[in-house]
Amino acid sequence: MNKDILVIGTGISGLTFAIKVAEENPKLSLTLISKRDINEGNTRYAQGGIAVVRNLKKDSTKKHIEDTLIAGDGACDTKVVKFVIEEANKRLDELIQWGTAFDKKEEQLDLGIEGGHSENRIVHYKDQTGKQIQEVLTAKVKSFSNITILENHTLVDLITDHHSKSNMNRCYGAYVISQEQEEIIKISAKITVLSTGGAGSLYAYTTNPSVATGDGLGAAYRAKVKMDGLPFVQFHPTALRDKIDHNVFLITEAVRGEGGKLRNSLQERFMLKIDPRGELAPRDIVARGIQKQIQEQEDDFVLLDCSEISKEQWKSHFPTIYNICKSIGVFLPEDPIPVVPAAHYFCGGIIVNEHSESSLKGLYAIGECSATGLHGANRLASNSLLEALVFAHRAAIDCIKSLSEPLPQKSFYNKLPEWNGDDYSKNFTIQNVKVLRKQLQEIMTKYVGIFKTDNGLKLAEKKINNIYVTVQSLYNKNKLTNGLCELRNMVSIAYLLTKQAQEIKENKGVFYNQNYV
Ligand SMILES: Cc1cc2nc3c(=O)[nH]c(=O)nc-3n(C[C@H](O)[C@H](O)[C@H](O)COP(=O)(O)OP(=O)(O)OC[C@H]3O[C@@H](n4cnc5c(N)ncnc54)[C@H](O)[C@@H]3O)c2cc1C
């Protein structure tokens, strides 16, 4: 397969990018791949919404910029923060034009508030903002005849100079598992876009779906693409303690915005003793507050008391949460919700410039797998969907421009080698993969989670390295599978994250090492 552009990942960032390129230049050929069905990824689970300044009577871009910089704890790139927030309205208007519905109040967008925001500016659709966006973008992307969509296709490795025996420091596409055909195919492309999302699955408890295994990060790491900030993993303070269908379910911050109060097992409202902003302090502070309570009390959860929110409000604003809680016997608003913190968002990733291009020419990274400089040491709630929209737009413009510049000839792409190695076989051939994945998650949660120590990180490095060696040997001896491919990425990123964490000697944002308190 020989394409102008290969987009790997079909969440908000990959889909927005593809739509923009296809609208701008219908002659370009694009292929979009997703590991499962097109809709499965972090985007569809986003509940809270998108942070955009809409109420200019009370709010301003200046205030949103300030809130973002405060949350980022001095580590944001101010220039990036400024342009993302200034471009927010244009990008939101486009999303609305494409058919995305958002909740309204008296003909105006209904603006919610979340932790760390000084004003109401969260544009939302019930508690299903992500699902709404994902479905609209999916329908739109399917309307373009120059876009080929390949579901159930897994990125294995990027094609680089290493494969083509050239030295242009470029990316030339990717090797991809076709799960249906059970083979590894080569998709060569002039431009490759990683929009593969985060890596919450590195942890035992995560709000991310199981596809979030850091595959784009792993492939970029092997291609020697520059990466930064991996240890800045944001833990969401309030996930439902009980798993639903083996998945952790998020209780959006907007619930605390509407008046939800956190209480320990003695019914004390502990957050006010930790921060004057109480339950609406930035996520890292609330997550640590909860984790500390859990360590000090017998119960392995704290309670989210939502008695101030009326039943009508629950049903209209948070219908999914209302029904999920009901299904486990928590009847809102009377019953408190048992909650725990869970790995939620990767602030770091592939370093990109202001057009989302990485250190490898022809390779762009957008969305959660990228490190743009917007989030610094901690992402402000609801800034990530916004970041994806703004950078997808910028990447699309830059990408179209770069395609008119001199590029390798078609014959060069045709000559790129096929996948060198054994082909693909089904998951059940390697039972070890599941066990090793669980071990890795336990190590990460115990030693590289909300609270870290120098000794814990050293121990984690050793343990992760042992798993890495086993995975390498599995990889060398066996045919590649989807599960092995994911584990190979997870263990590489866990190792890099732990190494980077040991280099950080000061606590900042979401990063917290108890030796530096
Ligand atoms: C429960 C939850 C709630 C959230 N709420 C909010 C919110 O209210 N506001 C906000 O701003 N942010 C929120 N976030 C964060 C936000 O949803 C994500 O950061 C954002 O959706 C990421 O979009 P993305 O396009 O980068 O990746 P994703 O939407 O995660 O998509 C990743 C894509 O990559 C594909 N992929 C992965 N690996 C491979 C591979 N090897 N081969 C092929 N394809 C691959 C997947 O199949 C998928 O299509 C939330 C996240 C979660 C999990």
Domain residue ranges in the chain: 2-232+347-414, 237-343, 427-511
* Nearest residue by C-alpha to atom 5 in ligand 1: 46
pLDDT in tens, 60-72: 999 999 999 999 9
Q: Which residue has the higher pLDDT, 246 or 488?
A: 488
* Nearest residue by C-alpha to atom 11 in ligand 1: 382
- Residue 426's pLDDT band (boundaries 50, 70, 90)? low
Question: Is there a catalytic annotation at residue 379?
Answer: no
Mean pLDDT of 11-15: 98
**Residue 321 phi, psi dihedral angles, 5° rounding:** -60, -45
Q: What is the whole-number distance in angstroms between the Cα of residue 292 and the centre of ligand 1?
A: 28
Query: CB of 40 within 8 A of CB of 224?
Result: no
Ligand 1 close to Cβ of residue 36 (< 6 A) = yes
Amino acid at 305: D
Q: For the residues of 342-394, what is the DSSP string, one character each? A: EEEEE--EEE--TT-B-SSBTEEE-GGGEE-SSSTTSPPTT-HHHHHHHHHHH
pTM score, whole prediction: 0.94
Mean pLDDT of 490-494: 98
pLDDT at 253 over 90: no
Mean pLDDT over each residue of the chain, to the nearest integer: 95
pLDDT at 428: 52
Reported in sequence order, the residue ranges of 34-182 that DSSP labels E, i.e. its strands, are: 50-51, 104-105, 108-109, 111-112, 122-123, 147-150, 153-158, 173-178
- Residue 461's pLDDT band (boundaries 50, 70, 90)? very high
pLDDT in tens, 30-40: 999 999 999 99
pLDDT at 197: 98
Helices (H), 156-303: 161-164, 215-222, 253-257, 271-274, 283-296
Which top CATH class is 237-343?
alpha beta
Task: Return d(Cα 416, Cα 8) in angstroms, integer.
Answer: 19
Least confident interval from 228-242, 259-273, 465-479, 482-496: 465-479
Token pair recorded at residue 109: 């967008």
Task: Return d(Cα 296, Cα 289) in angstroms, integer.
Answer: 11
SS3 150: strand
Q: What is the whole-number distance in angstroms between the Cα of residue 231 and the centre of ligand 1?
A: 18
Ligand 1 close to Cβ of residue 368 (< 6 A) = yes
Task: Return d(Cα 297, Cα 395) in angstroms, integer.
Answer: 48
* Fold annotation for 427-511: Methane Monooxygenase Hydroxylase; Chain G, domain 1 (1.20.58)
**Residue 316 phi, psi dihedral angles, 5° rounding:** -90, -40
* Nearest residue by C-alpha to atom 20 in ligand 1: 43
* Cα→Cα distances 457→449, 473, 500, 503, Å: 10, 24, 10, 10
pLDDT at 422 over 80: no
Ligand 1 close to Cβ of residue 8 (< 6 A) = yes
pLDDT at 127: 87
**Residue 333 phi, psi dihedral angles, 5° rounding:** -90, 0
Please list the residues that pair with 183 across neighbouring strands: 178
* Unique residue bearing structure tokens 């998945």: 247
pLDDT at 96 over 70: yes
* Unique residue bearing structure tokens 């998020």: 250
User: What angle is formed at CA 435 by the lines to CA 430 and CA 437, rounded to 5 degrees?
Assistant: 95
Q: Which CATH number fits domain 2-232+347-414: 3.40.50.150, 3.50.50.60, 3.40.50.510, 3.20.20.70?
A: 3.50.50.60
Q: What is the rounded radius of gyration, in angstroms, for the C-alpha atoms of the chain? A: 22
User: Over the range 238-260, which residues count as b (16 or more CB within 10 Å of their CB) and which as e?
Assistant: bbbbbeeeeebbbbbbbbbbbeb
Ligand 1 close to Cβ of residue 173 (< 6 A) = no
Q: What is the whole-number distance in angstroms between the Cα of residue 208 and the centre of ligand 1?
A: 8
Return the closest-CA partner of residue 264 out of 236, 292, 239: 292
In angstroms, how far is CA 375 from the centroid of its own chain? 12
Token pair recorded at residue 175: 């090797």
Token pair recorded at residue 127: 């508690």
pLDDT at 281: 87
Q: For the residues of 297-332, what is the DSSP string, one character each? A: SSSSSEEEE-TTS-HHHHHHH-HHHHHHHHHTT--T
Q: What is the whole-number distance in angstroms between the Cα of residue 484 and the centre of ligand 1?
A: 21
pLDDT at 79 over 70: yes
pLDDT in tens, 114-135: 888 999 999 999 989 999 999 9
Given the residues 241, 256, 283, 288, select the one marked as catalytic: 283
Query: CB of 482 within 8 A of CB of 177?
Result: yes
